[in-house]
């Protein structure tokens, strides 16, 4: 009986432990992604002469750190259909015109990394 209780207790402890999620990449994220990730630097250089303010944002999606471009100008009318990228620049998910509303339910914006200001 003592063996059974020991096995049961050990099993419960192992099952209740928070196992490292291989999809989580938070510890791999740079403190300064705009300088350290070449693909983000390249994305920034393409953002010139913005008619509306758009931003490169670091956020969280399914407990993973992601990066995306979003329309951040309150005076511009548009629908965000962002593509989420991981720290390597690999596409995690692309929101489309049919599911763009899900973006606001599943993605949190943690910090703005770069703003392309409108040109007057």
The model carries a pTM of 0.71
The helix/strand/coil state of 93 is: strand
Helix (H) or strand (E) holding 86: none
CB 67 within 8 A of CB 113: yes
Beta bridge partners of residue 55, listed in sequence order: 70, 115
**pLDDT for 35-85, tens place per residue?**
999 999 999 999 988 888 999 999 999 999 999 999 888 888 887 789 999
């Amino acid at each position: 009986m003592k063996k059974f209780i020991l096995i049961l207790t050990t099993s419960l402890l192992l099952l209740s432990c928070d196992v490292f999620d291989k999809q989580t990449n938070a510890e791999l994220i740079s403190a300064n992604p705009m300088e350290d990730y070449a693909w983000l630097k390249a994305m920034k250089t393409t953002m010139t002469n913005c008619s509306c303010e758009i931003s490169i944002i670091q956020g969280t999606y399914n407990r993973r750190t992601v990066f995306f471009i979003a329309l951040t100008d309150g005076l511009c009318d548009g629908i965000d259909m962002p593509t989420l990228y991981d720290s390597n620049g690999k596409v995690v998910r692309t929101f489309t015109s049919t599911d763009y509303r899900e973006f606001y339910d599943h993605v949190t914006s943690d910090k703005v990394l770069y703003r392309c200001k409108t040109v007057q």
